[in-house]
Amino acid sequence: MKFPRCLLATSLFLLVGVTSGWAQQTAPLQPPQQTQAQQGSSDQKPPNPNPPEQQKEPTKILSTTGLVHLVATVMDRRRNFVTDLAQGDFKVLEDGAPQEIRFFGRDTDLPLRIGLLLDTSNSIRPRLEFEQDAAIDFLSSVLRRNKDMAFLMTFDNEPEVVQDFTGDVSELTSAIRKQRAGGGTALNDAIYRASEKLINPPLPTGSNPEVRRVLVVISDGDDNLSDHALSESLEAAIRAEAAIYAISTNTDWIAIDNPDRPTKYHLDPGDKVLQRFADESGGRPFFPYRVDDLAQSFVDIGTELRSQYYIAYAPSVPLANGGYRKIQVDTDRKGLVVRTRKGYYANAPSASVPASK
């Protein structure tokens, strides 16, 4: 879960922030929506209407910085990635107020920490084998030796980590191949638990301990067994600063205008759930038309992870009120769309991470 970081961690940030240009912080999980940058921690936990008989003692988290940091993707009208913008091309608003960008980078080459969440419920049984192949290809192409790491979580009646963090693609491949489909779907619980793992992942050695956190979710979006609400799981991901890339396995509602570029006229409730997770966390939803289009979705995720900008700013209003703050990032260049997470929680000086149910 989470381990305390005290004055030593705060001092370390001052050195790392100047040398690396990346200001990262860890934040506590609690219940409804998006990430944060904070300066302390609190002992308050969200109310649990149905507390389990046994709960682990929550782990306290100390933040080491007051910076809010963002990973932004910029695309043109043709959905091509735009990677040649400078710091002056961006403007950041927090609750409508302009913010000063403190750090900026075009090359977000930080080590990746990826949680791959594979729906193994009975509803995806016909597509499981191809999902496995596409997931393996994705990890093989994205994970860089001695730099990036991933873990595999499956979810049906409940989420289960079947392979912990590793940089060894062969270990992940073996774990993926062993999975079989059956049971219900606990999507919200899976995202909540995966976010817990991403809050305190294995850190790289060296002077810069920062990483980028990513969840890749393959599911139809239906949930019929979770203890956590969607809002709880979404906030967990936001507090973990994890961008969610959701790949829908549901193709029933797609209508075709052009066989080469099918148009999707209607999203069913499960697809809307996946879209919300992705949009609010700064990730991206994918709705592949055919089952073999899943592979292209994974390719697109890998490309996007290498085509982003890093932006960090110190909020003009101190970070201690615990409220949710909206973020808007724009560029002066016409015809471009900037995508990043939509807000964060400015937590009070201390907070604790509730144990997963």
pLDDT exceeds 70 at position 168: yes
> Global pTM?
0.78
| Measured distance CA(162)–CA(153) in Å, rounded | 6
Q: How many other C-beta atoms are found inside a 10 Å radius of the C-beta of residue 206?
A: 8
pLDDT exceeds 90 at position 337: yes
Q: How many other C-beta atoms are found inside a 10 Å radius of the C-beta of residue 94?
A: 19
H/E/C letters for each residue in 118-187?
EECCHHHHHHHHHHHHHHHHHHHHHCCCCCCEEEEEEECCCEEEEEEEECCHHHHHHHHHCCCCCCCCCH
Q: What share of the chain in percent tops pLDDT 90? A: 61
User: What is each CA distance from 95 to 164, 262, 324, 326, in whole angstroms?
Assistant: 38, 37, 9, 5
Per-residue pLDDT at 16: 37
pLDDT exceeds 90 at position 136: yes
What is the rounded average pLDDT of the residues 215-225? Answer: 95
Per-residue pLDDT at 206: 81
3-state DSSP assignment of residue 20: helix
What is the rounded average pLDDT of the residues 111-131? Answer: 93
| Measured distance CA(92)–CA(329) in Å, rounded | 5
Residue environment code for 6-40, b if the CB has 16+ CB neighbours within 10 A, otherwise e: eeebeeebeebbeebebbbbbbbbbbbbbbbbbbb
Per-residue pLDDT at 106: 85
The stretches of 282-353 forming alpha helices (DSSP H) are 294-305
Where residue 30 falls among pLDDT bands split at 50, 70, 90?
A: very low
What is the rounded average pLDDT of the residues 34-61? Answer: 40
| Measured distance CA(26)–CA(198) in Å, rounded | 10
Written as six digits, the tokens of 89 are 């091309």
Q: How far is CA 340 from the centre of its chain?
A: 11
Per-residue pLDDT at 56: 38
**What angle (nearest 5°) sits at the alpha carbon of residue 217, between those of residues 239 and 118?**
125
What is the rounded average pLDDT of the residues 116-126? Answer: 93
> With the CA atoms of 218, 275, 49 and 239 taken in that order, what torsion angle do they form, in degrees rounded to the nearest 10?
90
Q: What is the pLDDT of residues 267-279, one digit of tens each?
A: 889 999 999 999 9
| Measured distance CA(111)–CA(330) in Å, rounded | 26
Can you state the percent helix, strand and coil of the chain, rounding each to 5? Answer: 25, 25, 45
What is the rounded average pLDDT of the residues 205-228? Answer: 92
Q: Specify the pairing of strand 242-248 against strand 284-286.
A: parallel
Where residue 5 falls among pLDDT bands split at 50, 70, 90?
A: very low
Which residue in 308, 282, 311 sits closest to 100, CA to CA? 311
Q: What is the pLDDT of residues 310-327, one digit of tens each?
A: 999 999 987 667 789 999
More confident residue, 81 or 54: 81
H/E/C letters for each residue in 204-270?
CCCCCCCCEEEEEEEECCCCCCCCCCHHHHHHHHHHCCEEEEEEECCCCCCECCCCCCCECCCCCHH
Q: For the chain, how long is the longest CA-to-CA vector?
A: 60
What is the rounded average pLDDT of the residues 327-335? Answer: 95
The C-alpha R_g of the chain, in whole angstroms, comes to 20
Written as six digits, the tokens of 281 are 């966390």
Domains in the chain (CATH in brackets) are 7-106+309-353 (no CATH), 112-305 (3.40.50.410)
For residue 332, count CB atoms less than 10 angstroms from its CB and return exposed for 0-12, middle for 13-18, buried for 19 or more.
Answer: exposed
Written as six digits, the tokens of 231 are 């809002």
